[in-house]
Amino acid sequence: MAEIEGLGIDLYSLHKTLLTPAHISSLAFGHAGHLFAGSDDGSLRVYDLSSFKVLKAIRGLESEVSSIICVKRPGSELRDAWIACGRRICKFQMDSSKMIQMREDAVSTIEVGESDEDILNELAINTNKSHLAFSTDSGTVGVIDLLNNAVSTMKVKHESVCGSVKFIPERAREIVSGGYDTNLIHFDFTQGTELSRQKMDPFINVGGMALAPPFIMAMAMSPVGVLAAGTADGRLWIGFGGEKASADKKKKKTRIWEGLKREEALLIKVAEGPIVALTFTDPRTLIISTLMGLLTQYQLVYDETEGSVILKQIWKKESTGIEKVNTLLADDKRLVVGGFAANGKGVIEIWKQEAPHTSMDIPK
């Protein structure tokens, strides 16, 4: 059972719009004052979020920058960046004396994928920064041991594009991926084996005839193990089965994560277009974006006794400057959305939070 409630809180306002020559394809925060922005022309820019000036850049990567992972290195204010571009995952040290680096300046380059057409999609890094996970167009899910850059791939592949992959919090061996084959797959990455799977049912809660299959376009993992996934037909899937118990609730930790259990999940249509990006701002607060730039923030309320879910809509706004959204991220101060404008220019919108809030501020 699921219910959507609207609260109408005006939480974010558009603060700054940045334009780039090429489409924005990926975003990441360095530390709180730096924004890394990748483009589809194989370039990356690092912005100072106080002045909005470009501090550093990378050019000549030859393929779209599809994902960015920032990692702190002792002695450096600028984060190192693992960058997915084409079949390559490249590591750059952004505190280099060069204002603009090129592909040959990468301190590490790892090639994955089965062919030149098998490009990388999303990267993820685990809590202790020891392993990097990746997904590819061929449906492959893999993990890189950053101690020696050894690449391992899962024994089971998605039948189509795998666009998303996440490490599972406090699970040293487990990852989950989402694909255009409408499957969420949960792996033990040390063995390369499948542990569980959930397929999006094309006939559940569609709310009329679907214009697209329920391809999984994007995923987000909360810090307590709640998984959210957005589909091409405008549905939101939320799995509570693997949620870590809070201090006031006793819940025995299971041998493996149970986040894909159907009986503790929600699948509901919340948008008319594809949901292409999601991010958690706290353990049960989620922001989603449709392809056309409709931004919505929800508080997720799950009653274990009743087995019911309430999505409390906290905030909703439509971007007026982005024709199509590719990516978003958020911290405790701002929401950042990236894509491109009607004139073909890349666009980054920075939305400022009007007043800090926590889940305690949301009416029950």
Structural domain includes residue 157: yes
Instruction: Note the pLDDT of residue 246.
Output: 60
pLDDT bracket for residue 363 (50, 70, 90): very low
Q: Is residue 142 part of a domain?
A: yes
166, exposed or middle or buried, with CB in 10 Å at 0-12, 13-18, 19+? buried
Quote the pLDDT of residue 362.
45
User: Do residues 258 and 264 lie in contact, with contact meaning Cβ atoms separated by under 8 Å?
Assistant: yes
> Sorting pLDDT into bands at 50, 70 and 90, what band is 7?
low
- Residue 351 tokens, joined: 């939305």
CA distance 128 to 249: 26
pLDDT in tens, 163-216: 999 999 999 999 999 999 999 999 999 999 999 999 987 655 445 555 678 999
Alpha-carbon dihedral of residues 165, 246, 301, 227, nearest 10 degrees? 10
Cβ–Cβ < 8 Å for 87, 130: no
Q: Per the domain annotation, does 322 fall within a domain?
A: yes
Domain count, the chain: 1
Please check whether residue 344 lies inside any domain of the structure. Answer: yes
Query: Both tokens of residue 355?
Result: 């007043």
pLDDT at 359: 46
Average pLDDT over residues 100-129: 94
Confidence at residue 357, expressed as pLDDT on a 0 to 100 scale: 52
Smallest Cα–Cα separation from 89: which of 140, 126, 144?
A: 144
Number of Cβ atoms within 10 Å of the Cβ of 326: 26
User: 44 near 85, Cβ under 8 Å?
Assistant: no
Task: Give the range of the structural domain holding residue 251, as residue numbers without chain letter.
Answer: 2-42+74-79+116-357
| Cβ neighbour number for residue 74 with a 10 Å cutoff | 4
d(CA 249, CA 271): 33
pLDDT at 249 over 70: no
Q: Give the residue with greater pLDDT, 349 vs 254.
A: 349
For the stretch 314-335, pLDDT in tens is 999 999 899 999 999 999 899 9
Per-residue pLDDT band at 307 (split at 50, 70, 90): low
Structure tokens at 80: 């190192």
Please report whether residue 144 resides in a domain: yes
346-to-83, 114, 138 alpha-carbon distances in Å: 19, 30, 27
Question: Whose CA is closest to 311, among 293, 288, 330?
Answer: 288
Q: What is the pTM of this model?
A: 0.92
Q: In whole angstroms, what is the distance from residue 152 CA to residue 146 CA?
A: 12
Give the whole-angstrom CA distance, residue 258 versus residue 87: 32
If 0-12 CB within 10 Å is exposed, 13-18 middle and 19+ buried, where does residue 249 land? exposed
**How confident is the model over 114-130, as a mean pLDDT?**
92
How buried is residue 139: exposed, middle or buried, by Cβ count under 10 Å (0-12/13-18/19+)?
A: buried
58 within some domain: no
DSSP state of 353: E
Q: What is the CA radius of gyration of the chain?
A: 20
Query: Other C-beta atoms within 10 Å of 242: how many?
Result: 27
DSSP 211: S
Q: Which CATH number characterizes residue 194's domain?
A: 2.130.10.10
Q: Which of 62, 77, 150, 142 has its CA nearest to residue 108?
A: 150
> Pseudo-torsion of CA 239, 244, 246, 249, nearest 10°?
90
Cα separation, 257 vs 264, whole angstroms: 13
What is the reported pLDDT for 303? 74
Q: Give 50-74 pLDDT, tens digit per residue.
A: 999 999 999 999 899 999 999 999 9
Residue 224 is predicted with a pLDDT of 94
Asked if residue 348 is part of any domain, the answer here is yes
pLDDT, average across residues 273-277: 96
Q: Is residue 341 one of the residues assigned to a domain? A: yes
